[in-house]
Amino acid sequence: MGKDLSFKDKKVITIGIVRELTGLSERQIRYYEERKLIFPERSAGGSRKFSFSDIELLMEIANKIEDGIQTHEIRKEMQREQKKQNQEEVRRKMIQGQLNAQFGIRKQ
Amino acid sequence: MGKDLSFKDKKVITIGIVRELTGLSERQIRYYEERKLIFPERSAGGSRKFSFSDIELLMEIANKIEDGIQTHEIRKEMQREQKKQNQEEVRRKMIQGQLNAQFGIRKQ
DNA sequence: CGTGTAAGGAATTCTGACACG
DNA sequence: CGTGTAAGGAATTCTGACACG
């Protein structure tokens, strides 16, 4: 079920490192969060924590911004993609459910 | 050539996160560095930066310490393992070199 | 030997605001 | 709209040392 998200999706990287890794300014990174493009977690003290996936996403966002696409549009694009992936997920689960019903792989 | 060390070996995690992830105190983590068991990198300002591999290693170290093994012994164990892996690496490369020499996979 | 702790300082991060355009 | 910046404060991290054992 799902991919191996053990490392790539773990939110463990502070904003300073993200700045170095992406070349973006902290201002930009915080702004993209404000515009709901990325969703860092927070430490107990309030510091943002990012994942490697967030970093990859930030690079894509930066490219689109450079192409003149507005954050508003980028968010909509991302929602469309997310929706598509969700549907894919539902389809897979339904097929799996039917297989289980017919050929009966029972849980013990 | 080599494993995909893209994420697991990237030094991007600060000591506070490592503390949360491992359950160790910062004191312990710094001490294990002092004893040459782990090798975090440093940010420009001097903060330690760890990788996911470092975190896994820290868990192993913590277990051995609990078993009463001294840092000195742990380091020797690790060196032995490292040596073994290096020899393995050399062997692989030699075989590959002979294959290339006989069957000639040229670079372009 | 391995770890806790208080101390003082430096680097890091945070938010809200003003600015430009 | 997207980003830079100065401001003030809070959280984070650093080192060297003393303590216990």
Q: By the 8 A CB rule, do A78 and A37 touch?
A: yes
Average pLDDT, chain A: 92
Average pLDDT of the segment spanning B53-65: 98
Q: What is the model's pLDDT at position B107? A: 52
> Is residue B5 very low, low, confident or very high in pLDDT (cuts 50, 70, 90)?
low
Q: What is the model's pLDDT at position B64? A: 98
User: Which residues of chain B (75-94) touch nucleic strand C at CB < 7 A?
Assistant: none
Q: Answer whether B8 touches A (CB < 8 Å).
A: yes
Tell me which protein residue sits closest to nucleotide C5, measuring alpha carbon to C1'. B27
Q: Which residues of A touch B52 (CB under 8 A)?
A: 7, 10
Q: What is the model's pLDDT at position A96? A: 84
Q: Cα separation of B64 and B61, whole Å?
A: 5
Nucleotide closest to A44 measured between CA and C1': D11
Q: Answer whether A59 touches B (CB < 8 Å).
A: no
pLDDT tens sequence across B86-108: 888 888 889 888 888 887 655 55
Residue A68 Cβ under 7 A from any strand D atom: no
- Considering CB atoms only, which of B8, B16, B49 is closest to A7? B8
* pLDDT above 70: residue B17: yes
Q: What are phi and psi of B41, to 5 degrees?
A: -85, 180
Q: List bases, strand D, within 7 Å of protein CB.
A: 1-5, 10-15
User: Domain residue spans in chain A?
Assistant: 15-103
Q: Cα separation of A81 and A76, whole Å?
A: 9
- Name which CATH class applies to A15-103: mainly alpha
Q: List bases, strand C, within 7 Å of protein CB.
A: 1-5, 10-15
Q: Cα separation of B89 and A51, whole Å?
A: 32
* pLDDT above 90: residue A36: yes
Half-sphere exposure of B5 (CA within 13 A, CB side): 9
Q: What is the model's pLDDT at position A3? A: 56
> Is residue B85 very low, low, confident or very high in pLDDT (cuts 50, 70, 90)?
confident
Q: What is the model's pLDDT at position A35? A: 98
Nucleotide closest to A62 measured between CA and C1': D2
